[in-house]
Amino acid sequence: MRTRVLSAVVLVPLVVGAVYIGGWIWAAVVTAAAVIATYEGFGMARAAGHRPDTWLGLCLGGGLALTGAWPEHDLVRLALAAGVIGAFLAQMLRAAEDRSLGDWTATLVFPVMAGVLCSYLILIRNMDDGLLWTLLAFVLIWVNDSAAYLGGRGFGRSPFFASLSPKKTLEGAICGTIATVAVGLLTPAIATLGPDFLAPLADLPALGVAALGLLVSIAGPAGDLSQSFIKRQVGVKDSGNLIPGHGGVLDRLDSLLFAAPVVYYAAMLLAG
């Protein structure tokens, strides 16, 4: 636990600082995260016996993440087309006995997952009042994770997707949902009491932000369970070991990556 806390003490200010600065600093941080997450995904693929084309996949993951910086252009389809064609060409250049449909699939699936979902973090930050929406996404995920953990420790009795994550409980999930919805419901009221830069949140409909909290409380755990599914399929405990006490980047980003599209489209609807 001490190692986890120390890692958080170092990383949280760096991430919050990058979010605050925004622009190309935040885009670079998110792109780097997508590349690292892709690399970790390839490590899990290798644990299952696949041989993805690493450099092609890393370029695809980073490129897909960066498409969030230019939403006015149709760059996602361009990157996907290049990735699909490139992955096929990479297989054709292998010796006949080394070609593998599984390797082709592994080359594409991890960069697409990491890159596309990470692009939403750039899209959110580049919106009007994007700093507030990005911070709100982090707060809702943190509240959901913390309340689910504490609720599970205090009241947990019934297994919740035990085949994927034995420590998760239904009671913990319910506590996480209640806390996240409550924070969403109270966000506009809290914003009215805070500094002036929170004013855009004060104008949001409380029920709308509460609904966002409900959706995040579903999307976040789904992201966590998705990574548990992958890790159980390939027989590894963590996606990587880059962050002491926490595992890999994918282990830390899984909930946020699934919640990011939800927050982005909710922000467009509620603030539009």
Q: What share of the chain is helix, strand, coil (3-state, %, to 5)?
A: 80, 0, 20
Mean pLDDT over 144-173 rounds to 90
Residues 240-270 pLDDT 10s: 777 766 678 888 899 999 999 999 999 999 9
The pLDDT of residue 237 is 87
Q: Residue 243's beta-bridge partner residues?
A: 247
The pLDDT of residue 91 is 96
**CA–CA dist 261, 269 (Å, integer):** 12
- How open is the CA angle 163-245-239, to the nearest 5 degrees? 50
pTM above 0.85, yes or no: yes
Residue 88 has pLDDT above 60, yes or no: yes
Residue bearing tokens 């990491």 = 114
The pLDDT of residue 162 is 85
Q: Name the helix (H) or strand (E) containing 201.
A: helix 199-202
* pLDDT > 90: percent of the chain: 77
Contact 7, 241 (CB under 8 A): no
Contact 31, 118 (CB under 8 A): yes
List of residues 6+ apart from 180 with CB closer than 8 A: 140, 143, 144, 147, 213, 214, 216, 217
Residues 118-141 pLDDT 10s: 999 999 999 999 999 999 999 999
DSSP 8-state code for residue 8: H
Q: Residue 169's beta-bridge partner residues?
A: 159
9 pLDDT tier (thresholds 50, 70, 90) = confident
**CA–CA dist 39, 111 (Å, integer):** 8
Lowest-confidence segment of 50-64, 73-87, 143-157, 256-270 by average pLDDT: 143-157
Reduced to 3 states (helix: H, G, I; strand: E, B; else coil), residue 70 is coil
Question: What does the block give as tokens for 265?
Answer: 């489209």
11 pLDDT tier (thresholds 50, 70, 90) = confident
2 pLDDT tier (thresholds 50, 70, 90) = low
**CA–CA dist 89, 103 (Å, integer):** 12
Residues 180-218 pLDDT 10s: 999 999 999 999 998 888 999 999 999 999 999 999 999
Contact 231, 223 (CB under 8 A): no
20 pLDDT tier (thresholds 50, 70, 90) = very high
Amino acid at 243: I
Alpha carbon of 133 to those of 32, 124, 148, 176, 178: distances in Å?
A: 21, 7, 22, 20, 20
The pLDDT of residue 31 is 97
Contact 209, 188 (CB under 8 A): yes
Residue 161 has pLDDT above 90, yes or no: no
